[in-house]
Structure 1
């Protein structure tokens, strides 16, 4: 069998191939000049002329399926060519290209299979489409129906067929033929089975070998965002953080400019409030933007007048789904604003979420529509494949508004599928995406009942395995003893071996230490000894983690994780002979509703954005974490959240956590990512190779968003912040535009360097490359510089970091700036002086001079001179330079006065040297008046004694 070879040479920006687009490292140029030919002709002419550099043959590029998306905002045309063989498409074999309004070819990157005809296995479709569905069901652990009902079929090579969903799928099951490139099996013919699994949130695209029925892989249209964040002690703050609350006042002024579309009003969290901890519920009037939603948010027919007075309209249908059946309740109980569309709902946050279900649904409706309208101005419009029932412009497909489900599955038994989660399913254009928002469970707790001096409650985190503590549990606590009979490491209280004090543990709650083995092994050993519950004590401080692990199906007791200080106090009391009794509290607070966490709502919406824009609106399978773990889907969604919720008075250096409200943290909490988003490398040290150390996909996406956040602030530094998130002209608006336009220009299955280059290409087209250096500095700072190597996007372990920028970026901004931050002055011999400067620019070097001569070794922004002598007096300057220019600071003059010894021996025993020049009566000499003044200042008591 011939192993396939992917022709994936990075022709985007000409980084390889003909060399037409890059005359030097980091220099961005177009692939072709202007042309009067149509976009398709421009692309095909270039491909045919560059087959060798693309690694393709004429047969490889014959008869592609072409999706053409014209962007009215930029004038560009994005083409997505899918490779075919005998009329059947090849999965993920997409060549994408961008042609500008002048007919220039800006980017082209190929994922076509080289020598496809040789790589394709002999077509064999002996497995029927019905059998492919049955094999898919078996693979998913579902019971296949006895009979599948064919709904429709299409004539053609792909043999597309539609079956009823039966007991397998919420919607019809579609099946069609494709070829699938594999790493070690050539390119077999497969059945693509699309199945929206009934019992779970997953919407699958499965690949079934058409010759033998083997499931070769699958892609999930649903992106899960399970949150297992550490809890913070209530009220604990980070020193120096000042919370700022969004009031929505600037929205009143902004929406007034819209002119009013339908007279609607909503009591909701206003933009840019990230959560109820970040802002107050406010009545917002007429928020629909006349360009993005010209007939308001409750219209669907394109004629003035709302079709719905409930939370349904052209962009989204928001409805409660507490029973988890993914359909609006019957009879419909959507919040109703009446003829005036007035949604004056309430939010009693000191109650369980069901008490503000209507408010949750209205807030979800509002923020979905807000996301739709803002993103309309950043390339996610009707032509770009956005989410609308009716496309008023006639561009795009339509019939695909978002189904947004509030408090999804809240009435079902708590599991990872029903709590602490949110997800977004993005099918191809023309099918409705689905957003599910869940309730989040609060921290558990350990309430101490005895002894008296320890009575109180401490926050704890519940293990993800074992009993989930639906009811409180009370018991006595005993410390475990495993005898440490294993390999000699660890301790007798870590429960890494079978316990030797089972008689003591039986019927009680076992207290044990973290470390040396898995949480599952510890709890299993305690359970085997008869424990009814487990307290795991942190051995690394008071931070809390959520214990997890695999192969824990046999564990049926609850286990809580507590901080070291609290856990140690319990242990010491027990070992000291006291009886310790506690109650495991199922929850210290009511659940929180992610429908009130706009940061999460926008994050989920962002998954729809990135999937529709990467590879084109019809190819929504390009961001597959199973085959492309380096793709940054979670990062683009986090960036969207940061953009929407950045308050005008949040400074550059403010660390930002994601998901703090739903995770029961303070506004300054760590959030749900490895570090908070911050430009300060001591707060967030992530660089490119960090992706090999963090989770896929959330940790990987975090690293990319960290870089985008640096880029955001570089652009804000250059252009300022604009609170108009729709059509503003600030650096924040520019950052989002470049990110979204980059999504359209990056290839299918992109890695970080692919995404970087696509953003640079977008800036070249939209801004003539004016911001290239700001972009390069952000990426180079995080290890994605000019010479960084992505390796394969199918791996997170083969990246090579580089921190350099193009040479011209070291000179951007011409002269570096320098401001002295200290002054010279007059000093006595023996004293010390510190001189310092603040340099502005990049890759700066410092050189201090005295009286115009370099001081050897003085190459830092700070110059410290200790034990001054007369020879240190002089004029000090600092030259600040980069490789292109230099700037000299203003002079800092240092005067050094010699000491004198007072002549009167009567004072010599108690008065030390006085610095010459301290002439108190300004008569030009040191006389007795000066001496007396100095003596009084130094030691009045001694003067009196004398």
Structure 2
């Protein structure tokens, strides 16, 4: 028989029952009434409510019988997930793949990486990103239940063989989700115009997870990221590289994936989610620089400041794809603010900004040390943690189409806002060391720092 469509048990009582039995709290997601089949085959009218426990990470969808009050069905949104990937702290496949289990941060991805809170998948698709080849239906499916994605890249074969395609889609899925989770806890949230299908009622426009096309046929020896306004998906395209035989896959070089992903962050946070405020040559160049700097940030493992080279795997050259390593040593990297006088291509301009930020990072770590848990805990006090706070905080403070000067000033202001100006002289000294001092203007160097810093 079909039970009455008018509940005998109130929603409030159903929530209380679910909270008690599941040791969590109702998360305010709109409750619904649904008929479900019970184990004995009979129908039940149920209150459907979501219950979360922020301490344990548990998140359930509870079906409470609207007549008896019995908990008749349960959906567990949190699943164990394992991925054979290149950890984000590693740059190239030669450093070694590892199996990572449950790498998601529930503070940033409360439904995990394979659910949007309503729909759960067993493929490389979830609330934050979908990775595919060709068509969005061509994702990678779990290699075994539940949510195991164990595909071992074979570097002796071309990237297009099936196992290598799966390895690429899995790695890109892991990296883009990890960048989402790191940037989220540092402020790139729903209200900050981030990329998610479901924003869980926390502001911003949803339905805009990142789409990642691996081995995209539209290009070679490159990658790109398109950032439309909040509410439209960011589009990443990863291409193959043909400097070697077999060819190499940009989706397996983490610094390239993070670089592209960071374009989405900087284009959304600058200009209030419009995606239209890094359009001038100088601003676009800084966009490239921020992307290199964030890729470098993810790969630091300790307080030792080493020169950073980007793109060395895809071209099989330890010198990488930039003109110089990023370095605190001016004999290794001589780029300065005045270098902009002769540079007109955005990646070349970006190298100047990225090297400035490399020096800012080194200065902050020199003062504050290094936090081993900065990827998952933004409350730590290491210089790497301070750096990423300022990196993200400065973006919405700067004007549309910033210059090196206005971007520098945004960093100074971000420090005043968050840290009470504690790093004022550290920042000015680092910027001035590469020509971006107090009196710098019109691409003319100046090494002056504020009088209070002398």
What's the TM-score once normalised by structure 2's chain length? 0.80
Q: Which residue of 2 aligns with 1:723?
A: 372
**Cα–Cα, structure 1 residues 387 and 422, in superposed 2: closer, same or farther, change >3 Å?**
same
Work out which of the residue numbers 337, 345, 360 in structure 2 matches 1:688: 337
Q: Cα deviation per residue 1:824-849 (whole Å; 9 max; x = unaligned)?
A: xxxxxxxxxxxxxxxxxxxxxxxxxx
Q: Which residue of 1 aligns with 2:216?
A: 408
Structure 2 CA distance for aligned equivalents of residues 394 and 688 of structure 1: 40
**Cα–Cα, structure 1 residues 630 and 273, in superposed 2: closer, same or farther, change >3 Å?**
closer
Post-superposition, which runs of at least 4 consecutive aligned residues in structure 1 deviate over 3 A?
Answer: 257-261, 628-631
Q: Which residue of 2 aligns with 1:262?
A: 79
**Cα–Cα, structure 1 residues 270 and 630, in superposed 2: closer, same or farther, change >3 Å?**
closer
Q: Which residue of 1 aligns with 2:219?
A: 418
Q: Which residue of 2 aligns with 1:489?
A: none
CA RMSD of superposed structures (Å) = 1.7
**Cα–Cα, structure 1 residues 784 and 706, in superposed 2: closer, same or farther, change >3 Å?**
same
Q: CA deviation at 1:596?
A: 0.3
Work out which of the residue numbers 266, 270, 276 in structure 2 matches 1:621: 276
Q: Which residue of 2 aligns with 1:360?
A: 168
Q: CA deviation at 1:646?
A: 1.6
Report if the CA contact (8 A) 1:309-1:337 is conserved. Answer: no
**Cα–Cα, structure 1 residues 425 and 630, in superposed 2: closer, same or farther, change >3 Å?**
closer
Whether 1:591 and 2:392 are equivalent positions in the alignment is: no
Pairing 1:284-299 to 2, within 5 Å after superposition: 284-299=100-115
Q: Which residue of 2 aligns with 1:660?
A: 312
Structure 1 CA distance for aligned equivalents of residues 310 and 206 of structure 2: 32
Whether 1:737 and 2:393 are equivalent positions in the alignment is: no
Q: CA deviation at 1:726?
A: 2.5
Q: Which residue of 1 aligns with 2:63?
A: none
1:632 alignment partner, SS class: helix
Q: Which residue of 1 aligns with 2:417?
A: 765
Whether 1:350 and 2:156 are equivalent positions in the alignment is: yes
Whether 1:397 and 2:205 are equivalent positions in the alignment is: yes
**Cα–Cα, structure 1 residues 258 and 438, in superposed 2: closer, same or farther, change >3 Å?**
farther
Q: Which residue of 2 aligns with 1:313?
A: 126
Q: When you count helix as a share of all residues, which structure comes out higher? A: 2
Q: CA deviation at 1:310?
A: 0.3
Structure 1 CA distance for aligned equivalents of residues 285 and 240 of structure 2: 28
Work out which of the residue numbers 338, 341, 353 in structure 1 matches 2:147: 341
Structure 2 CA distance for aligned equivalents of residues 378 and 671 of structure 1: 29
Whether 1:801 and 2:426 are equivalent positions in the alignment is: no
**Cα–Cα, structure 1 residues 393 and 734, in superposed 2: closer, same or farther, change >3 Å?**
farther
Report if the CA contact (8 A) 1:320-1:334 is conserved. Answer: no
Q: Which residue of 2 aligns with 1:711?
A: 360
Structure 1 CA distance for aligned equivalents of residues 414 and 270 of structure 2: 14
Whether 1:637 and 2:445 are equivalent positions in the alignment is: no
Q: CA deviation at 1:339?
A: 4.3
Report if the CA contact (8 A) 2:327-2:358 is conserved. Answer: yes
Q: Which residue of 2 aligns with 1:750?
A: 402
Structure 1 CA distance for aligned equivalents of residues 145 and 357 of structure 2: 44
Q: How many residues align?
A: 376
**Cα–Cα, structure 1 residues 269 and 631, in superposed 2: closer, same or farther, change >3 Å?**
closer
Report if the CA contact (8 A) 2:143-2:151 is conserved. Answer: no
Report if the CA contact (8 A) 1:289-1:373 is conserved. Answer: yes
Pairing 1:51-200 to 2, within 5 Å after superposition: none
**Cα–Cα, structure 1 residues 709 and 762, in superposed 2: closer, same or farther, change >3 Å?**
same
Structure 2 unmatched ranges of 5 or more: 1-54, 59-77
Whether 1:436 and 2:237 are equivalent positions in the alignment is: yes
Work out which of the residue numbers 63, 76, 98 in structure 2 matches 1:282: 98
Report if the CA contact (8 A) 2:83-2:149 is conserved. Answer: yes
Q: Cα deviation per residue 1:129-171 (whole Å; 9 max; x = unaligned)?
A: xxxxxxxxxxxxxxxxxxxxxxxxxxxxxxxxxxxxxxxxxxx
2:130 alignment partner, SS class: strand
Pairing 1:509-588 to 2, within 5 Å after superposition: none
Whether 1:610 and 2:266 are equivalent positions in the alignment is: yes
Q: Cα deviation per residue 1:359-407 (whole Å; 9 max; x = unaligned)?
A: 1100010001000000001111111011000001431111100011111
Q: CA deviation at 1:670?
A: 1.9
With CA pairs under 8 Å and 6+ residues apart, which has the higher RCO, 1 or 2?
2
Structure 2 CA distance for aligned equivalents of residues 621 and 333 of structure 1: 30
Report if the CA contact (8 A) 1:688-1:782 is conserved. Answer: yes
Q: Cα deviation per residue 1:722-776 (whole Å; 9 max; x = unaligned)?
A: 1222214310111111011111100001100000000100100101100011100
Report if the CA contact (8 A) 2:222-2:241 is conserved. Answer: yes
Report if the CA contact (8 A) 1:688-1:783 is conserved. Answer: yes
**Cα–Cα, structure 1 residues 314 and 702, in superposed 2: closer, same or farther, change >3 Å?**
same
Report if the CA contact (8 A) 2:285-2:345 is conserved. Answer: no
2:258 alignment partner, SS class: helix
Report if the CA contact (8 A) 1:629-1:696 is conserved. Answer: no
Report if the CA contact (8 A) 1:384-1:613 is conserved. Answer: yes
Q: CA deviation at 1:710?
A: 0.5
Q: CA deviation at 1:629?
A: 5.7
Report if the CA contact (8 A) 1:423-1:436 is conserved. Answer: yes
**Cα–Cα, structure 1 residues 740 and 258, in superposed 2: closer, same or farther, change >3 Å?**
farther
Structure 1 CA distance for aligned equivalents of residues 141 and 293 of structure 2: 31
**Cα–Cα, structure 1 residues 319 and 687, in superposed 2: closer, same or farther, change >3 Å?**
same
Pairing 1:897-916 to 2, within 5 Å after superposition: none
Structure 1 CA distance for aligned equivalents of residues 283 and 113 of structure 2: 37
2:160 alignment partner, SS class: helix
Structure 1 CA distance for aligned equivalents of residues 447 and 409 of structure 2: 15
Report if the CA contact (8 A) 1:310-1:335 is conserved. Answer: yes
Structure 2 CA distance for aligned equivalents of residues 631 and 597 of structure 1: 22
Q: Which residue of 1 aligns with 2:34?
A: none
2:278 alignment partner, SS class: coil
Q: Which residue of 2 aligns with 1:383?
A: 191
